[in-house]
């Protein structure tokens, strides 16, 4: 069986996911077979594995860092919020149903056998398992039924590194306060502290390390700087979603839907010089961009109603009439059609008229499409003719079935009309051929020429993972970490 180490945080968004990815890459570089594990994840950014299972996008990235195929074993429970008080519950990569938060919390301990089966199978295949916690282990009202932080550490007998985020301030209170709120048996599992996202001269924090070690009686395993590398963020806490202004030659506006999902679909454009991606949540912010993208959503009908109420629906249609190209992915594709109907209550129920930019209608069903896919763009007219014949890869994850009367966009479905296009494929822009053609066409539309090179997102992501691992290795006491893993709990 594999040895293990667990990263827990003092709060959400302290960088656990990135540090987990970094350790996976470091252990792989050191010759170990390694895999990530997160028992329960709540995120709208998901990924489809080669065998059609749905897991958190972060675990797929961590698997890539480890050099292995992603698997449902790495994330046996995924919660995808559909409302403020409810989520779609996915167990072992498949939908179990929608559940109110209160009902899920009452029943989640019933999922421990699923968690342990997944963990034990994963541990039988690898040398080291790097486990990621969620939120904070010191949420006192939730500790009794914990299956993702100290509760999981006890189940799998894992030592813990506690991570604090100095960039958000109060790192002493974060780390020492969290330890003080733990039970003695839980505190004993914490074998080291990590100060993450440090800006400036780390030598000025030497006294801080001494204070932390004296007050906590725990070793500081490292002070990791704020690393500038372009790696996909997991959820709605991402700083990318706060980008509101265009600083580039080309302005791509992504509609920031309330239940936006898989916004990593657009990270590829950040690789291109002169291209800005901004997220728009108000009609007054939209302006006249070079391209509008309507992303995926976990609540299509509710987000279409929000588009109406916010007047963004009218502004998108005005831009389209003015010649601005509009592309929709998954829920965004559904929103661009004539109607959306959810008679079976797959999401929030009801029906609504869409934007009417594409000649298609969507009916939600109880079955969920989960598949990796690849194909080729068909012969297209209008702005997106630049993509005709281009090959793409990606994945589909959606509940709806779309009856499309428009002209086919790709060999895997979707349609186009004028300068509007949409399909179900997440990651469709990731290939160098697709993103490169689009960027060049956007430049040409402005009477300019793009002279840079196109970069395949997968290759670029691997370069960024190496950069992350290099910087984390430099600033963590890896000798201590290997000793923690060897000694266990």
Q: What is the pLDDT of residue 357?
A: 98
Q: Where are the domains of the chain?
A: 3-231+463-487, 250-447
Looking at 3.30.1490.100, 3.40.50.1360, 2.40.50.110, 3.40.50.300, the CATH number of the domain 3-231+463-487 comes to 3.40.50.300
Average pLDDT over residues 220-237: 81
Q: Convert the pLDDT of each residue in 174-210 to its tens digit.
A: 999 999 999 999 999 999 999 999 998 988 899 999 9
CA–CA separation, 7 and 84 (whole Å):
27
DSSP lists the bridge partners of residue 98 as 88
How far apart are alpha carbons 447 and 90 in whole angstroms? 48
How far is it, in rounded angstroms, from Cα 283 to Cα 291?
15
Residue 385's alpha-carbon distances to 160, 311, 316, in angstroms, are: 53, 29, 21
Contact 36, 66 (CB under 8 A): yes
Distance of alpha carbon 313 from the chain centroid = 26
d(CA 484, CA 5): 8
Lowest mean pLDDT among 91-95, 201-205, 276-280: 201-205
Q: What pLDDT is attached to residue 373? A: 96
Query: Which class for 209: exposed (0-12), middle (13-18), buried (19 or more C-beta within 10 A)?
Result: middle
Give the mean model confidence (pLDDT) for residues 290-313. 96
State what percent of residues in the chain have pLDDT above 90.
80
Count CB atoms within 10 A of the CB of residue 388.
13
Q: Are 222 and 475 in contact (CB under 8 A)?
A: yes
Read off φ and ψ for residue 347, nearest 5 degrees.
Answer: -115, -90
Distance, CA of 203 to CA of 200 (rounded, Å): 9
pLDDT digits (tens, 9 = 90+) for 393-442: 999 999 889 999 889 999 999 999 999 999 999 999 999 999 999 999 99
Average pLDDT on 159-169 reads 96
Q: Is the pLDDT of residue 384 over 70?
A: yes
Mean pLDDT over each residue of the chain, to the nearest integer: 93
Q: Which residues contact 370 (CB under 8 A, 6 or more apart)?
A: 48, 52, 53, 54, 93, 94, 395, 396, 397
- DSSP state letter for 191: E
Local confidence band at 245 (pLDDT 50, 70, 90 cut-offs): low
Predicted local confidence at residue 106, as pLDDT? 84
Distances (CA, A) of 293 to 25, 202, 263: 33, 41, 10
d(CA 422, CA 74): 31
Instruction: Read off the pLDDT of residues 442-469 as tens digits, 9 standing for 90 and up.
Output: 999 999 999 888 888 888 999 999 999 9
Six-digit token string for 122: 């994963």
Which ranges in 249-350 belong to alpha helices (H)? 283-286, 300-309, 312-321, 331-335
Q: Same CATH fold, 250-447 and 3-231+463-487?
A: yes
Q: How far apart are CA 379 and CA 407, in angstroms?
A: 9
The pLDDT tens digits of the residues spanning 60-92 come to: 999 999 999 999 999 999 999 877 778 899 999
Q: Which of 387, 474, 487 is nearest to 439 (CA)?
A: 387
Q: Quote the pTM value.
A: 0.90
Across 116-133, average pLDDT: 98
How far, in Å, CA of 99 to CA of 81, rounded?
9
Helix intervals (H) in 346-456: 432-445
Give kind and range of the element (H or E) at residue 428: none
Cα 462–chain centre separation: 16
Secondary structure class of 174 (helix, strand, coil):
helix
Instruction: Specify the range with the lowest mean pLDDT, choosing from 100-109, 299-308, 372-381, 458-467.
Output: 100-109
Dmax over Cα atoms in the chain, in whole Å?
69
315-320, long-range: CB < 8 A, 24+ apart: 315/283, 315/286, 316/255, 316/286, 316/292, 316/355, 316/357, 317/355, 317/356, 317/357, 319/286, 319/288, 319/289, 319/292, 320/292, 320/357, 320/418, 320/419, 320/420
Taking CA 290 as the corner, what is the angle to CA 286 and CA 292, rounded to the nearest 5 degrees? 55
- Point out the residues that are catalytic: 330, 426
Strand order in the sheet with 160-165: 34-37, 128-132, 3-9, 160-165, 190-198, 220-225
Architecture of domain 250-447: 3-Layer(aba) Sandwich (3.40)
Banded pLDDT at 229 (limits 50, 70, 90):
confident
Q: Is residue 346 over pLDDT 70?
A: yes
What are the residues facing 341 on neighbouring strands?
A: 351, 363
Pair 298, 82: CB distance under 8 Å? yes
Residue 238: per-residue pLDDT:
57
Is the pLDDT at 240 greater than 70, yes or no?
no
Q: Rounded distance, CA 460 to CA 47, Å?
A: 18
Strand pairing class (260-261; 291-294): unpaired
Q: How far apart are CA 467 and CA 465, in angstroms?
A: 5
pLDDT, position 345: 76
The DSSP 8-state label assigned to residue 115 in this structure reads: H
Q: How far is it, in rounded angstroms, from Cα 66 to Cα 146?
A: 27
Q: What is the pLDDT of residue 387?
A: 98
């Amino acid at each position: 069986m594999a040895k293990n180490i667990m990263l827990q945080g003092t709060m959400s968004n302290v960088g656990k996911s990135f540090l987990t990815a970094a350790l996976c890459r470091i252990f792989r570089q050191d010759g170990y077979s390694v895999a990530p594990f997160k028992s329960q994840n709540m995120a709208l950014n998901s990924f489809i594995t080669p065998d059609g299972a749905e897991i958190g996008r972060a675990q797929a990235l961590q698997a890539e860092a480890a050099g292995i195929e992603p698997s449902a074993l790495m994330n046996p429970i995924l919660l995808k919020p559909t409302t403020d008080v409810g989520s779609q519950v996915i167990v072992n990569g498949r939908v179990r149903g929608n559940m109110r938060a209160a009902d899920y919390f009452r029943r989640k301990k019933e999922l421990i056998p699923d968690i342990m089966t997944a963990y034990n199978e994963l541990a039988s295949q690898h040398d080291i398992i790097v486990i990621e916690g969620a939120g904070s282990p010191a949420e006192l009202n939730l500790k009794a039924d914990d299956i993702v932080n100290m509760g999981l550490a006890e189940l799998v007998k894992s030592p813990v590194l506690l991570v604090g985020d100095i960039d958000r301030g109060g790192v002493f209170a974060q780390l020492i306060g969290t330890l003080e709120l733990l039970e003695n048996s839980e505190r004993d599992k914490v074998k080291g502290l990590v100060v993450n996202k440090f800006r400036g001269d780390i030598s000025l924090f030497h006294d801080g390390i001494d204070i932390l070690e004296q007050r906590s009686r725990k070793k500081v395993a490292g002070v990791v700087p704020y690393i500038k590398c372009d790696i996909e963020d997991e959820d709605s806490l991402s700083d990318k979603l706060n980008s509101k202004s265009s600083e580039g030659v080309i302005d791509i506006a992504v509609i920031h839907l309330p239940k936006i999902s898989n916004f990593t679909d657009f990270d590829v454009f950040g690789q291109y010089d002169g291209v800005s991606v901004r997220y728009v949540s108000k009609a007054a912010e939209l302006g006249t961009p070079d391209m509008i993208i309507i992303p995926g959503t976990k609540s299509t009908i509710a987000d279409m109603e929000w588009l109406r109420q916010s007047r963004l629906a009218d502004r998108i249609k005005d831009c389209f009439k003015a010649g601005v190209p509009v592309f929709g992915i998954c829920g965004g594709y559904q929103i661009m059609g004539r109607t959306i109907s959810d008679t079976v209550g797959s999401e929030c129920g009801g029906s609504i008229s869409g934007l009417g930019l594409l000649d298609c209608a969507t009916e939600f069903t109880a079955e969920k499409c989960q598949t990796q896919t690849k194909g080729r763009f068909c012969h297209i007219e209008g702005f997106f003719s630049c993509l005709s014949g281009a090959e793409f890869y990606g994945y589909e994850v959606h509940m709806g079935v779309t009856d499309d009367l428009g002209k086919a966009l790709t060999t895997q479905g979707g349609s186009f009309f004028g300068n509007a296009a949409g399909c179900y494929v997440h990651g469709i822009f990731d290939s160098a051929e697709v993103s490169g053609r689009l960027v060049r066409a956007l430049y040409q539309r402005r009477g300019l020429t793009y002279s840079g090179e196109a970069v395949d997102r997968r290759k670029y992501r691997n370069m960024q993972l190496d950069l992350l691992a290099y910087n984390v290795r430099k600033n963590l006491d890896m000798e201590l970490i290997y000793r923690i893993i060897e000694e266990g709990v």
